Amino acid sequence: MATINETNAVTAADSLLAQPLTGAAALVTGGSRGIGRAIALRLAQLGAAVAICGRDRAALDETRMALQRIKTPVHAESADVTRASEVAALVANSESAIGPITILVNNAGIGLFGPVQDQSEADWDHVLDTNLKSVFLVSRAVAPGMIRRAAGDIINISSLAGLNSFAGGALYCASKWGLQGLTACMAEDLRAHGVRVSSVCPGSVATEFSGKSPQQKPHALHAEDVAHAVAAIVTQAPNSFISQVQIRPLRK
């Protein structure tokens, strides 16, 4: 017959298996909707405290309430992650609310599509700043703390468009190809410090971003598929890391 102490030990072990990210603190950019929201909820379900940012206050509040129902510490903040000053404030406020960031998911992104000759300089700046510059700024802000603690995960949400080209995708593909290069170099810069850097490259996902609902594109990926990949990365055994995940729908 098990003793009370043995029973408590088993219960604690079961809890750790169910919530392996207990004690972790995650920051998810673009976390108020779509893929970012699904990732934030999944990390919270795994036990992490979660900070999210976005520009839509109503969406932020709705996702914050959904996270709070999971009974995890939550911070939600409206921030423009293309501006260094706002990034610095976001990271400081997030760490004050939920603790030192141990997981960063760079998810904020936009897409503008059309023939390259029809795009403006403002379009270029908007896409590249949001999809690429923001990753540099937020990663630069959290990396020193991760280096001091000799641990951390940075996951950059890229796209299969970072590996392939298609008509009308010049700006978007440029941003995601750049993100692939940035991710690979960050991984080499930080791995000696115990910090793991990975990219997740999904195909078309049925979210507001793609403009396609599951009914319109029944075989498209879902946001939860990307969240599942992020969960696999951050629960990887500590002496290794998954450098890249490519996700495609099972059926075309």
Q: How far apart are CA 54 and CA 49, in angstroms?
A: 17
User: Which residues, 6+ apart, have CB-to-CB distance to 55 below 8 Å?
Assistant: 78, 79, 80
Of 172, 196, 223, 231, which one is the catalytic site residue? Answer: 172
Do 153 and 222 contact (CB within 8 A), yes or no?
A: no
Give the residue from 179, 185, 173, 191 showing the smallest Cα distance to 240.
Answer: 191
Cα→Cα distances 110→12, 66, 118, 130, 173, Å: 42, 24, 18, 7, 11
List b or e across 108-147, with b for residues whose CB sees 16 or more CB atoms inside 10 angstroms. Answer: bbebbeeeeeebeeeebebbbbbbbbbbbbbbebbbeebb
- Catalytic residue check, 238: no
Do 81 and 87 contact (CB within 8 A), yes or no?
A: yes
Task: Region of 100 please: left (phi>0), alpha (psi -120 to 50) or beta.
Answer: beta
- Catalytic residue numbers read 172
